[in-house]
Amino acid sequence: MLRLTPILLALIYGFVAWRFSAWRTRAELDARSAELLDPALAPVFGRMAGALGLPRLKVHLYDIEPVNGLAAPDGRIFITRGLYDRFRSGAVSAEEIASVIAHELGHVALGHARRRGIDFSGQNAARVALAAVLGRFLPGLGPMVASFAADLLAKKMSRKDEHEADAYATALLMKAGIGAEAQVSLLAKLDRMAGGGQPPAWISTHPPSRERIARIEANSRRWTVR
């Protein structure tokens, strides 16, 4: 039992840390966001709501500059001020905004946000256990190697979640009559905005844009009714 104590403590610490992080995130979002109400976006929002069987789709505007969308742990959907400003300037279309929202809806529907707390706790426990084992063979380096390995595992799981959310978004956009083309065009635009520079796939939380586009296009072809 004593041997398991550090692992149990790591599990508890991981869960508490995730809960605290979720609380901080919610407080930040509450303080810096409001519902996004734009008549120019209402038609695509309405089509997605209809495809989901909802009376309306509620999206929030998060007042920060980075271009992004996110799903909060409590299930709320946000796009950032930076992304919205690009829509208002004409650099991004309403359909492309819809593709971001559909992707974030995928994270919520597939339980990714809720599962992250369990994943984080498990990864923390695995890190402690692996550090204890490696410490016998690599004194002083064991914890570093264990942390690196746990970090790679977390990023691999994140990339899997992104592909799953992309597939959900493709299905939703097609059902709503918006189409998957907006997903593809926005990913290409975001790649250009980032200057085409992306870290190697194995150390990134997101798959390369070209890989995401290839999967989206394959799903779109497979799901197209002929």
Residue 13 above 60 pLDDT?
no
pLDDT at 93: 97
- pLDDT of 213-226, one tens digit each? 999 999 999 998 65
Over range 175-204, report the average pLDDT. Answer: 80
Please report the pLDDT score of residue 127 as a whole number. Answer: 59
User: Would you state the pLDDT for residue 222?
Assistant: 94
Confidence of residue 192 (pLDDT cuts 50, 70, 90): confident
Write out the residue range of the structural domain in which residue 155 sits.
5-223
Residue 110 has pLDDT above 60, yes or no: yes
Average pLDDT, the chain: 82
- Taking the model in full, what pTM does it have? 0.80
pLDDT band, residue 1 (cuts 50/70/90):
very low
pLDDT of residue 2: 43
Of 24-28, 54-58, 112-116, which has the strongest mean pLDDT?
54-58
Taking each helix axis from N to C end, the angle separating 181-193 and 209-223, rounded to the nearest 10 degrees, works out to 170
When pLDDT is cut at 50, 70 and 90, the band that residue 156 belongs to is: confident
Is the pLDDT higher at 188 or at 123?
188
Question: Which own/partner pairs from 73-77 qualify as long-range (CB within 8 Å, at least 24 positions apart)?
Answer: 73/22, 73/25, 73/26, 73/113, 73/114, 73/116, 73/117, 74/26, 75/108, 75/113, 76/29, 77/101, 77/104, 77/105, 77/108
Average pLDDT over residues 103-124: 76
**Structural contact between residues 144 and 131, judged by C-beta atoms closer than 8 angstroms:** no
What order do you get walking across the sheet with 69-71 strand by strand?
33-35, 60-62, 77-80, 69-71
Number of domains in the chain: 1
- Mean pLDDT check: name the lowest of 29-38, 96-105, 144-153, 210-219: 144-153
Residue 164 has pLDDT above 90, yes or no: yes
Least confident segment among 17-31, 54-68, 104-118: 17-31
Question: Given this model, what pLDDT does residue 71 score?
Answer: 92
Do the Cβ atoms of 184 and 170 come closer than 8 Å?
Answer: no
